[in-house]
Structure 1
Amino acid sequence: MTRLVLTRHGQSQWNLENRFTGWVDVDLTEKGEAEARKGGVLMREAGFEPACAFTSVLKRAIRTLWIGLEELDRVWIPVEKHWRLNERHYGKLTGLNKAETAERHGEDQVHLWRRSYDIPPPPLEIDDPNHPRHDPRYRGLEPDLLPSTESLKLTLARVQPYWEETIAPRLEAGEDVLVAAHGNSLRALIKLLFDVGDEDIVNFELPTANPLLIDLTGLRPVEARYLDPDRAKDLPSCP
């Protein structure tokens, strides 16, 4: 049996400010760092010893991973960063305060953008400074790979190839794996692992930096639990 831990990054500055973040590279708050450290302690106490780790190319996830690995005393394991594990791209909502956006566009419309499975927010224009084509970390990618906006469905389409080609084979080889990423990229992985329906996955919420430990037989989850039960959310049933 192998073990997989999925952990969302700790609280970021824009989480604190209630802003749509997406692909903007926002750092952790002091609270977020403390959450990440506690997550590392909980993984250590659970006896989790990952052989490798994966994260996005955004610092809030990268630093959450680093802090967790420090607490695990496993900073030496291989770590791979990949843009396919980035947060969902929020298009023109990027940087906006969520409450103010609801006042401007109506709560129903904003809820549709945030919580529907396949309806993305309005896209960014190519010349918008928040568009990923202006970010040096994506310079080597084909322009048509870079999103101007994303729904959860589009986020899943981005994440799934990386899961199937890179992460899943490590688990199938019997290695324990740690993934530190974002609310929506992790939703995509949970949808794949637990075969969650389109309407149900949009309501699934991961708490910040609370490691979700999943016991697997092959790639089939047999048990899953949050390591901090005081901040646990409802989990999908193991298929």
Structure 2
Amino acid sequence: MRLLDRTLVIVRHGQSLDNERDLFSGIRDPDLTARGVEEAEIAGNRLRELGFSFDLAFTSELLRARRTTNLILSALGQSALGIRRSSALNERDYGELAGLNKRESQDRWGSEQVRIWRKSFDAVPPGGESLAMTADRLIPYYRDEIEPQLRDGKRVLLVAHGNSLRALIMYLDQIGADEVAEVHLATAQMQAYHFDDQGKVIAKQSIIVKITDKTE
């Protein structure tokens, strides 16, 4: 595959300790598990196999995303690449749900209410952020800091979180609040976007990462 300029690859971080325990993380700061490290390394190797390289990288302030970024760049042989970090790319704040597992949350608030908080665009978990609020901080950062790089012909890596990336996908794919409920990125899942010189998406591809489950 011949890589176009003006390319953005988005990656969800590898499995975290909270993911392993099925906990809501939000702005908690767990590290990667051993599996998460493997996922990030496999993602980087897959990008290398496909001929990807980058001019700069963006990530959040949270450890699981920062480590994933570093592991991917190491696999690409680009450990010295400049990385820009911002809390605007952090996971959504889950408020009182943070640190609870899904079953505990459902027992406390009911399964339907928890589903609404997780999947809807506007619902706000107690003390936390809705997806809409996450988009309100992420999209201006994307427009101000990342989009200009793409218009200038740069190839950009962005490593972030399930919900912050859902907000970005909603913007890039121009999908509505109802449709975003069906958007989900697994850990270390990747998508590539290619843009014209005005910052408009002209092509999109999913990049498949195969992780062997050693428990099977």
TM-score, normalised on structure 2?
A: 0.92
**Deviations 1:50-82, CA, capped at 9 Å, x for gaps:** 100000000000000000000011112211010
Match status 1:223 vs 2:203: yes
The DSSP-based 3-state class of the residue aligned with 2:201 is strand
How has the CA–CA distance of structure 1 residues 94 and 229 changed in structure 2, closer, same or farther, with 3 Å as cutoff? closer
Match status 1:85 vs 2:89: yes
Paired with 1:47 and 1:229, the residues of 2 have a C-alpha distance of 15
Give 1:103 shift.
2.1
Q: Is the 8 A contact 2:9 2:157 kept in 1?
A: yes
**1:112 maps to which of 112, 116, 120:** 116
Runs of 4+ in 1 over 4 A off after TM superposition: none
Give 1:88 shift.
0.4
Match status 1:154 vs 2:103: no
Structure 2, unaligned runs of 5 or more = 212-216
**Deviations 1:172-223, CA, capped at 9 Å, x for gaps:** 1000000000011111111111111111112200121122122222322222
TM-score, normalised on structure 1?
A: 0.83
Give 1:230 shift.
5.4
**1:201 maps to which of 180, 184, 195:** 180
Amino acid at match of 2:54: P
Paired with 1:105 and 1:187, the residues of 2 have a C-alpha distance of 24
**1:46 maps to which of 36, 39, 50:** 50
Structure 1, unaligned runs of 5 or more = 124-148, 232-239
Count of residues in Structure 1 that have an aligned counterpart in Structure 2:
206
Match status 1:189 vs 2:168: yes
Aligned-residue sequence identity (percent) comes to 40
Aligned residue runs from structure 1 range 24-39, under 5 A: 24-39=28-43
Aligned residues: CA RMSD? 1.3
